[in-house]
Amino acid sequence: MPDQPLNIADIRMDYRLAELDEETVGKDPILFFKRWFTEAESAQITEVNAMTLATADGNNIPHARIVLLKGLSGSGFTFFTNYDSDKGHEIIANPNVALCFFWKELERQVRIEGKIEKVSAAENDTYFHSRPVGSRLGAWASPQSREIPDRSILDLNYNTYENEFSGVEIPRPEHWGGYLVVPSRIEFWQGRSSRMHDRILLVKQADGSWLKSRLAP
């Protein structure tokens, strides 16, 4: 029914699953993120590592897209992509980025802000070689973010690289690799009833500790 108006304004949900307080979050937001991530995995949320990555270009125009979290350490959050993509160029223009996770089944959001840096070539190689063959060929075949005349160029590129690397180890393209988002702010959001949600923010201090506060929903 294409002409039927959508009843979007009437869609609403009351969140009642859980609560979040300052004590539960603790002193280290990366540790607490691990806890929430594990709980999201246990809840069998699909694409649990999917996160929105926001970048800004040289004209301060924001751009957002989903990428997959592929590593988490005390230093930060890692994902992999094409360094020559639009996001790669935006990151050169402005290394300040934001990430956002939404685990709707747990009524939780995590917002992360920080600076981004490339991961080492060794780490890139290790991850690249752990990927399935098709994904490795895809990294060669797709000039990510560039305009292409039609779909067939991708298949053509894919077949070309499949032949070129037939019987040999597929090398990592120079333009493909990871980024580490080093967080300076992390906010944990737990949905509560009547839009009275819990928001706990941790901001990194010069001495490396995290300053905790509660924000109004």
Ligand X SMILES: Cc1cc2nc3c(=O)[nH]c(=O)nc-3n(C[C@H](O)[C@H](O)[C@H](O)COP(=O)(O)O)c2cc1C
Residue 12 or 151 with smaller CB distance to ligand X = 151
47 secondary structure, DSSP code: T
Q: Which stretch binds ligand X (CB under 6 A): 60-68, 131-139, 158-166, 172-180?
A: 60-68
Contact 81, 88 (CB under 8 A): yes
Q: Which of 35, 146, 195, 214 is catalytic?
A: 195
Please report, for residues 27, 30, 74, 194, the alpha-carbon distance to residue 34 in angstroms, rounded to integers and kept in the order given: 13, 6, 10, 28
50 binds ligand X (CB under 6 A): yes
Residue 85 or 190 with smaller CB distance to ligand X = 85
How many other CB atoms are there within 10 angstroms of residue 33's CB atom? 21
Q: Which stretch binds ligand X (CB under 6 A): 9-17, 79-87, 94-102, 153-161?
A: 79-87
81 binds ligand X (CB under 6 A): yes
- CA atoms 186, 201, 93, 149: torsion sign: positive
Residue of 75, 79, 46, 76 lying closest to 65 (CA atoms): 79
117 binds ligand X (CB under 6 A): no
Q: Which residue has the tokens 């500790």?
A: 209
Contact 214, 199 (CB under 8 A): yes
Q: How many helices (H) and strands (E) does the chain have?
A: 6, 9
Let me know if 12 is a catalytic residue. no
Q: Which of 24, 75, 94, 144 binds ligand X (CB under 6 A)?
A: 144
Q: Which stretch binds ligand X (CB under 6 A): 3-11, 18-26, 61-69, 102-110?
A: 61-69
Residue 15 or 176 with smaller CB distance to ligand X = 176
d(CA 205, CA 216): 22
75 secondary structure, DSSP code: T
Q: Give the footprint of ligand X on residues 29-48 (CB under 6 A).
A: 47
Number of residues that bind ligand X (CB under 6 A): 16
Shortest Å, Cβ 122 to ligand X: 20
Active site residues: 195
**Residues binding ligand X (CB under 6 A):** 47, 50, 63, 65-68, 79-82, 85-87, 144-145
